[in-house]
Amino acid sequence: MNKQASNLDTIPVGKLTPDDAAAELARLAAEIAGADTAYYGKDAPEITDAQYDALRRRNLLIEKRFPKLKRADSPSGKVGAAPSAKFEKSKHAVAMLSLDNAFDDADVAEFDKRVRKFLGLAEDLEVAFTAEPKIDGLSLNLRYEKGILVQAATRGDGEVGENVTINALTIADIPERLKAAPDILEVRGEVYMSHDDFAALNQRLTHEAAEAEKQPELFANPRNAAAGSLRQLDAAITASRPLKFFAYAWGEVSEALGETQWEVLQGFKKLGFRINPLTKRCNSVAEMLAHYADIEQQRASLGYDIDGVVYKVDRLDYQARLGFVSRHPRWAIAHKFPAEKATTVLEDIEIQVGRTGKLTPVARLKPVTVGGVVVANATLHNADEIERKDVRVGDTVVIQRAGDVIPQVVEVVTSKRKKGARKFKFPDCCPVCGSHAINEVNPVSGKPDVDRRCTGGLICPAQAVERLKHFVSRQAFDIEGLGERQIASFFEQKIITEPADIFTLRQRQEAGEINLYTYKNKKDGDIYLDKEGKPVATNRKSIENLFDGIDARREIASARFINALGIRHVGETNARLFASNYGDVAAFYDAAVKARATESEAYQDMLSIDGIGALVAQGVIDFFSEDHNRAAVDRLLAEVTPQRAQVANTTSPIAGKTVVFTGTLETMTRDEAKARAQSFGAKVSGSISAKTDYLVAGPGAGSKLKKAEDLGVKVLTEEEWADMVG
């Protein structure tokens, strides 16, 4: 033995010799057994949960490195306690955003133009981009502090993910320790599984199921296999799965690894991470497209799934200036591969009613595999689409699926149409509640909308249940344990008919008004539905977890609250705009009610919000004009507390101030000026009013400058503005 056993716990797993490893496994087995006895036998734990997890994690890693040294009394072969019912949540220091998509060469060229326009760069100025394969796996954030991996978290909703640290440590591509790394370094990348490993895993699962005389539960594709393997409550299962990791991005860092995207990737490589070998630095759109074609040609032989190529502006100072819009960075885009197509038979057309009353025709298809996924349904969009493509029941149709896009009917193979096939008649009444279905007139264009909508509102069960599904969705309240199936079941039984009912479940259960404990236990404690959509299985623990998940959402961000209401035309982006401009839900509510009068100051203030137009404003006004909607919101507010929107930069002198830009700006583009002002916590408006704090006026300022002077609004030159915000 090279070291005394008492010092072995200080040696990284990768540096242990076989003799050291055997001694360390013996020590860990004894220490973990003692901790188990103290915790379970004496109900008097001697170490913290974190210390206990660290011991088991180290034991697992050593066994993975030295499988022949695994002991008969190995802790990994025992279950000291029932696995946690859910993962610990982990808030990202820097949000993990998704990417905007490009589907053809023109979209890529347009992306390049947007970047140049935003930054004010000439068309002939060279702008470099990196281009890399878009891995079809599971995104992961690795946080290192002083070179030690302290946390690994999934993307989750972009703000909060699942803590899977112990599982991530079992992946060979993820270093436990880094040399010469910044004090804080968050490395981001993709966990994936190769085609060969995926096939071997499903073969092993089939063999194990046969030995146990059970039906095998196989993974549909490598992406699902990677995600399912990483999100195991038992890290030993994750360790047995052949997962890999490519690094391609970062979150919080205390010290930059370079001045360009390319330099940072090379820095990752030096630290011991794998970066994709097909990543390339390109100096033009032509080079980007050429590399895209090269990667697409190699796609079938790579041995792992990719679904496109990601382009990123190379210079990090450009990335910082470009910033973000909604859920996407302005400096990156995913160029997806062409949609995969297949031919099948359209067996029926059904009409679905969404939360805003929209009637959407859905094609029920004879199941067919497209891009590794079995497709049985496809969208037909609206009545005009059906008419334009002349889609009829019984037709042979070509369908396509591109990335995460919903499958759609591309065209009809008219040569195979059966005689007597009738044209589809789009309904004039809602198929669920029987109310009239109409094409509403757009308040901006004055023309009828292409979509037909049910006029039943909340008396329509379909709209009510879809609004509830939206309410609990990931980007809204995101309630742990309450998904679409549970909502549909509880709505059918009239247990939940409006959002406020969700937050009175525990109270009604304790008062005996409802009984959610009456269903027999089945499988893993989730609520399962029979063919009629009724719950047939749950257990007491899952219901208690549900109550806890609901209570955890009694305080929620104002933007999430507004988005959850399901107001037409108000999604995540507009909800954030309303939250940041009004500050809290109460002010937004009050403004929405007062804005019913279009000549009112409240209406003009709403329209002045940069990014909010008449169509969105009308959707808000219509929602709060309904007595039943206001009553439902009031009941909800009695149960939950929306948190006041936080200003992005509270130390800035313009935080919370309202700013208007006019004239020609000389040091930055108008778009960049607005984005930077918002990043400093300012509210950007499109019009001058008495509530405006600053007007930033460049050359050519006209009526806005005069109005600002008349109202006594502080007018700044571009130079004065730059000095103020630093």
Q: So which residues are the catalytic ones?
A: 134
Give the distance, in angstroms, between the CA of residue 545 and the centroid of all CA atoms in the same chain: 23
CA distance 218 to 368: 19
- Which residues contact residue 298 at a Cβ distance below 8 angstroms, ignoring those fewer than 6 apart? 278
User: What are φ and ψ of residue 662, in 5° steps?
Assistant: -150, 160
Q: Is 602 left (phi over 0), alpha (psi -120 to 50) or beta?
A: alpha
What distance in Å separates the CA atoms of residue 340 and residue 189, rounded to the nearest whole number? 26
Burial group, residue 13, by CB count within 10 angstroms (0-12, 13-18, 19+): buried
Q: Is 416 left (phi over 0), alpha (psi -120 to 50) or beta?
A: alpha
Region class of 463: left (phi > 0), else alpha (psi between -120 and 50), else beta: alpha
Burial 246-258 (b: 16+ CB within 10 A, else e): bbbbbbebeeebe
- Distances 702 to 686, 688, 693 between C-alpha atoms, Å: 14, 12, 18
DSSP string, 154-211: E-TTSSEEEB-HHHHTT-TTS-SB-SS--SEEEEEEEEE--HHHHHHHHHHHHHHHHH
Q: How many helices (H) and strands (E) does the chain have?
A: 25, 28
- Which residues in 6-108 belong to E strands, given as ranges? 89-91, 101-102
**DSSP bridge partners of 186:** 143
* Neighbouring C-beta atoms of residue 165, cutoff 10 Å: 19
Determine phi and psi for 183, rounding to 5 degrees. Answer: -55, -40
CA distance 567 to 574: 10
Total residue count of the chain as it appears in this document: 726
Local structure of residue 72 (DSSP, 8 states): T
Q: What is the DSSP letter of 362?
A: E
**Integer Rg of the chain from CA:** 29
How far is C-alpha 536 from the chain's CA centre? 30
DSSP 528: E
Q: How far apart are CA 587 and CA 579, in angstroms?
A: 9
For residues 494 and 160, give the distance between their C-alpha atoms in angstroms, rounded to a whole number. 32
Report how far apart, in Å, the C-alpha atoms of 213 and of each of 173, 202, 204, 385, 470 are.
35, 16, 14, 49, 40
What single-letter amino acid sits at 243? L
Q: Is 219 exposed, middle or buried (0-12, 13-18, 19+ CB in 10 A)?
A: middle
Angle formed at CA 571 by CA 566 and CA 574, multiple of 5 degrees: 120
Beta bridge partners, 145, equal 148, 184
CB atoms within 10 A of CB 555: 10
Q: How far apart are CA 27 and CA 21, in angstroms?
A: 10
| Rounded distance between C-alpha atoms, residue 537 and residue 549, angstroms | 19
Which residue has 């507010």 as its token pair? 637
